[in-house]
Amino acid sequence: MIEIIILVALAFLFGSILIFLNACLNPLDKERDEVLKRLPGYNCGACGFGSCAGMVEAILKDKEAYLKCRPMRKEAKEEMKEYLENKKK
Amino acid sequence: MKLVSLFLTAFLTENIVLTKFLGLCPLMGNSKREENAYKMGILVVLTTVLSSIISYLFYYQILVPSNTAHLRTLVFIFTIASIVGILEILIKKYFPSLYKSMGLYIPLITTNCAVLGISILTIDNAFSFLETVIYSLGSSLGFLLVIYVFSTLRIKMDRAPILKGFQGIPIAFITLGIIALLFTRYGL
């Protein structure tokens, strides 16, 4: 029983430290994930940024960059536009 | 004086890589280029010193009083993984160029057996707190020395005329074996 308590307490301690540090130091990470989720994820490189991760960096700098994505469908583009516009406010 | 001799023992005569053969995976995988080798070595030094200090405190403050010393491997791996995670977040924030060049290799420090090995050896040898700090610092600096020297050797090896079957990893292992033989003699 005491083993379980010790391990759970340690997991809770380390987990909360990691979450807290990540939220404080890298606040853009969450946004990156959100943008990446809305990309097709083929990593084709047709946009010229190399991969979808490169595209995310470009979108964070320039909101129009997602228009260069070729395999992205129209509905997905609209969804992305909506997301980025809501982000501005 | 005892601490100095402990440091030198851990650093040279009982080198973690050459006499105990721990941490061979990062040594082989990350010694192709000089700059990556010493970056990896410095990260291992940081992780090892921090994790062995925290493991020591956990072992003697939590595990021994509550009579659960058999959990030590689990708890130590847990500590190491969390420290590597914390280091990764800090590096991402403050040294983005280092993060880009090391990228995937940072989480792999967790699986470096030298880090866990040093934490367990400090407990097995019943070191005091100060001795733990000195021993982990010496051992991990020994790893840094070997990985740096070895990376410079591998650059030479790439240019040398070596039989086709021995090129790359095989000749690297043979060379490491020869260096290890020298060090075994040293320790006697």
Nearest residue in B to A22, CA atom: B89
Is the torsion defined by CA of B55, A15, A20, B64 positive or negative? negative
- Spatial distance between the Cα atoms of B159 and B172, rounded to a whole number of angstroms: 13
- The confidence band for B138, taking pLDDT boundaries of 50, 70 and 90, is very high
Among the partner residues B63, B66, B86, nearest to A21 by beta-carbon distance? B86
Chain B: closest CA distance from residue A73 (Å): 31
What angle (nearest 5°) sits at the alpha carbon of residue B32, between those of residues B30 and B38? 60
- pLDDT at position B67 is 86
At A22, the amino acid letter reads: N
- pLDDT at position A89 is 54
Nearest residue in A to B61, CA atom: A6
How does pLDDT run across B14-39, given as a tens digit for each residue?
A: 888 888 888 888 888 887 888 888 88
**Rounded mean pLDDT of A56-68?**
80
* CA atoms lying within 13 Å on the CB side of residue B78: 18
- pLDDT at position B120 is 92
- Spatial distance between the Cα atoms of B175 and B24, rounded to a whole number of angstroms: 13
- Given a cut of 90, whether residue B52 has pLDDT beyond it is yes
Indicate the range of A26-35, B57-66, B168-177 predicted with least confidence. A26-35
- The confidence band for B185, taking pLDDT boundaries of 50, 70 and 90, is low
Among the partner residues B66, B78, B79, nearest to A2 by beta-carbon distance? B66
B128 — contact with chain A (CB < 8 Å)? no
A26 vs A4, more confident:
A4
Question: Which residue, among B68, B89, B100, would best test binding to A if mutated, counting the most A CBs under 10 Å from its CB?
Answer: B89
Tell me if B93 and A26 make a contact (CB, 8 A cut-off). yes
